[in-house]
Amino acid sequence: MPAIVLASTSPYRRMLLEKVLPDFICAAPHVDETAGQGEAAEVLVERLAIAKARALADDFPNHLLIGSDQVAVVDGRILGKPGNAENAIDQLTAAKGKTVTFYTGLAVYHSGQDELLSCVEPFQVTFRKLSAAEIKGYVELEQPFNCAGSFKSEGLGISLFESLRGDDPNSLVGLPVIQLLKMLRHWQVNPLLPENNTKS
């Protein structure tokens, strides 16, 4: 079985992958994440996921490289990582009482075979009609500055929502695990089979 590399330094993606795979490497892909002029969210996240997976091919020449990227879209506006409290409050204020679509791009590249699989996983979140005090309190408590959409759904962020709709709640955290495992099975990587699972 080829070794697996997660082309990400995100602790959230690493946490999700650790739940299903016993052994993998994390590495930073160093990809420019700037959106193209007029680039649609779905196109952007798939392009970046592919770029991240391919970026490490020279360093890992016979590996399965996993790339992922995520943005949120509200009223046609793409929301990335806020970076600071002011931007996080602005994003959550824009989202209150609305349905926000999160697009997560996923790519798995077999560098030894030059074979690529990719997809985009959508997930919809309807936010409550949050008060300014709730938004400010949430941002102060969780400081979600490196999270697209300015929340951590696996933490207190769940209190911001009215409802969730989608096929894989893991995609909201940043990695569509159901689709990822489907792609890995294409290369006979299956954590349910003893030969693929070295956990003690």
Name all domains of the chain by residue range, CATH numbers in brackets: 3-196 (3.90.950.10)
Q: What is the 3-state secondary structure (H, E, C) of the chain?
A: CCEEEECCCCHHHHHHHHHHCCCCEECCCCCCCCCCCCCCHHHHHHHHHHHHHHHCCCCCCCEEEEEEEEEEEECCEEECCCCCHHHHHHHHHHHCCCEEEEEEEEEEEECCCCEEEEEEEEEEEEECCCCHHHHHHHHHHHCCCCCCCCCCCCCHHHHHEEEEEECCCHHHHCCCHHHHHHHHHHCCCCCCCHHHCCCC
pTM for this entry: 0.89
Q: Is residue 114 flagged as an active site residue?
A: no
4-45 residue pLDDT tens: 999 999 888 999 999 999 899 999 999 998 888 889 999 999
- Out of 23, 58, 59, 69, pick the active-site residue: 69
129-170 residue pLDDT tens: 999 999 999 999 999 998 888 988 878 999 999 999 999 999
